[in-house]
């Protein structure tokens, strides 16, 4: 286990800014805040094939994440520091039930770890309406989205500049060099699949023409592996009487770069989601079309920024065309605040792999979530997620899965 020792804001300020006068530290301390996030996660995955390497994967674990974010010192260039400590503890698992993504396991022994932990520090500088962050990063951008679907969240190491100097435009540029995966305490070289790289460079931004319409463009390059362009358009159209239509269109063009260490990359991914909202109801329909000779590439430690990224599957194989129907309901309309329901069905066809020419994948997800509204357990969230995944033409294993997740966030100050 990596032992983590958390420091209060005053000590962090003292270490980070030993030469700054006390009056300049006022905003650094007064604007700071800290919180602890608790996540109890149970996954039971039942494989449906008789020849599957495991009959099931089943693990239960408790996660703790403490986050501290300072304000900025006064002056033309403000200085700040953020810190994040994560700890995962095994509650139940074994070598024959490993592999849910909750816990790391030994490469030789295959025994799940009893615990694992990670500490991340981020320095930040602010000038005018621009902020530079150096260290641990968890970006949510079209070309890099950190994974937060298990016990502990993934993170990256590098630098990120965010600027809003031009009204309506949010610009981001950066470089990532390391990745800390969701079930790991190590910092690995940035990469895709089994291939690694020295750096991942990216830049782009979103311009809001109106509050209802924005356009996004990004360019990214994973050195010697792939380069990628993204264009996205989001539009929300009020239709009157509490009704609205949201259109979210996304296009990626991905090609190989340099030595192409992960093999030939050749993928165009056009996908979109249309959501009709009326009061407590939301109905969504999506499409996702893959063209080119390879799967859609995205960073290890991240998730694809695509509309058909669902609970188990990503629908990013070469040639895979997929669609989804989704329904959401908020029970506040029936006088039960805090209770919500979601169900969706996603179907993909024409997938190509080295051994399959016309594979099919389909998944049904159902979520029921309740957030306690009052009493000593106020803000505790309980979620049950049920998954049925099936594949055809020998593409991959089919499975049934249940996840139970209990979460709570406590503000420390």
> Tens place of pLDDT for every residue, the chain, 413 residues?
444 433 344 444 444 444 445 556 778 888 999 999 999 999 999 998 767 778 899 999 999 999 999 999 999 999 999 999 999 999 999 999 999 999 999 988 999 999 999 999 999 999 999 999 999 999 999 999 999 999 999 999 999 999 999 999 999 999 999 999 999 999 999 999 999 999 999 999 999 999 999 999 999 999 999 999 999 999 999 998 889 999 999 999 999 999 999 999 999 999 999 999 999 999 999 999 999 999 999 999 999 999 999 999 999 999 999 999 999 999 999 999 999 999 999 999 999 998 898 999 999 999 999 999 999 999 999 999 999 999 987 787 899 999 999 999 999 99
User: What are the beta bridge partners of residue 83?
Assistant: 68, 121
- Count of domains in the chain? 1
Which tokens in the block code for residue 28? 């650094």
Residues in the chain: 413
In a domain, 99, yes or no: yes
Three-state secondary structure call for residue 26: helix
In a domain, 26, yes or no: yes
Task: Report the 10 Å Cβ neighbour count for 223.
Answer: 17
* Close Cβ partners of 335 (under 8 Å, ≥ 6 residues apart): none
Three-state secondary structure call for residue 30: helix
In a domain, 62, yes or no: yes
Whether the Cβ atoms of residue 177 and residue 157 lie closer than 8 Å to each other: yes
Three-state secondary structure call for residue 261: coil
In a domain, 118, yes or no: yes
Rounded Cα distance, 125 and 123, in Å: 7
Task: Report the 10 Å Cβ neighbour count for 279.
Answer: 12
pTM, rounded to two decimals: 0.91
* Close Cβ partners of 357 (under 8 Å, ≥ 6 residues apart): 393
Sign of CA dihedral 260, 261, 262, 263: positive
In a domain, 332, yes or no: no
Domain region containing 73: 1-126
């Amino acid at each position: 286990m990596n032992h983590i020792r958390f420091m209060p804001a005053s000590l962090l300020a003292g270490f980070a800014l030993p030469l700054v006068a006390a009056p300049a530290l006022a905003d650094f301390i007064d604007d700071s805040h800290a919180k602890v996030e608790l996540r109890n996660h149970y996954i039971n995955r039942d494989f449906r094939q008789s020849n599957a390497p495991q009959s099931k994967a089943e693990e239960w674990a408790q996660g703790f994440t403490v986050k501290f974010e300072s304000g900025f010192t006064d002056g033309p260039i403000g200085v700040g520091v953020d810190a994040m400590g994560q700890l995962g503890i095994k509650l139940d698992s074994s070598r024959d039930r490993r592999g849910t993504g909750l816990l790391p396991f030994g490469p030789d022994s295959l025994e799940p770890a009893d615990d694992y932990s990670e500490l991340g520090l981020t320095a930040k500088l602010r000038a005018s309406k621009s902020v530079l962050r150096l260290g641990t990063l968890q970006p949510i951008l079209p070309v890099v989205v950190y994974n937060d679907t298990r016990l502990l969240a993934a993170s990256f190491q590098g630098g990120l500049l965010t600027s809003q100097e031009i009204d309506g435009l949010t610009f981001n540029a950066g470089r990532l060099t390391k990745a800390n995966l969701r079930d790991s305490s190590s910092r690995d070289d940035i990469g895709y699949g089994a291939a690694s790289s020295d750096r991942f460079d990216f830049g782009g931004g979103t311009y809001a023409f109106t509050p209802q319409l924005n356009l996004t463009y990004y360019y990214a390059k994973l050195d010697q592996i792939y380069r990628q362009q993204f264009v996205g358009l989001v539009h929300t159209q009020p239709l009157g009487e509490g009704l609205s239509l949201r259109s979210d269109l996304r296009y990626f063009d991905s090609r190989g770069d340099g030595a192409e260490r992960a093999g030939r990359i050749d993928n165009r991914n056009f996908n979109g989601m249309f959501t009709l909202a009326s009061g407590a109801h939301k109905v969504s329909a999506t499409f996702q079309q893959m063209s080119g000779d390879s799967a859609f590439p995205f960073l290890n430690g991240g998730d694809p920024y695509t509309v058909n990224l669902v609970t188990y599957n990503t629908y990013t194989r070469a040639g895979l065309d997929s669609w989804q129907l989704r329904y959401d309901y908020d029970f506040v309309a029936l006088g039960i605040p805090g209770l919500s329901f979601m169900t969706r069905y996603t179907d993909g066809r024409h997938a190509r792999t080295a051994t399959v020419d016309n594979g099919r994948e389909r998944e049904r997800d159902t979520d029921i979530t309740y957030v306690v509204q009052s009493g000593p357990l106020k803000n505790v969230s309980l979620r049950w997620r049920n998954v049925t995944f099936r594949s055809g033409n020998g593409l991959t294993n089919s499975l049934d899965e249940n996840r139970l997740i209990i979460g709570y966030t406590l503000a420390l100050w």
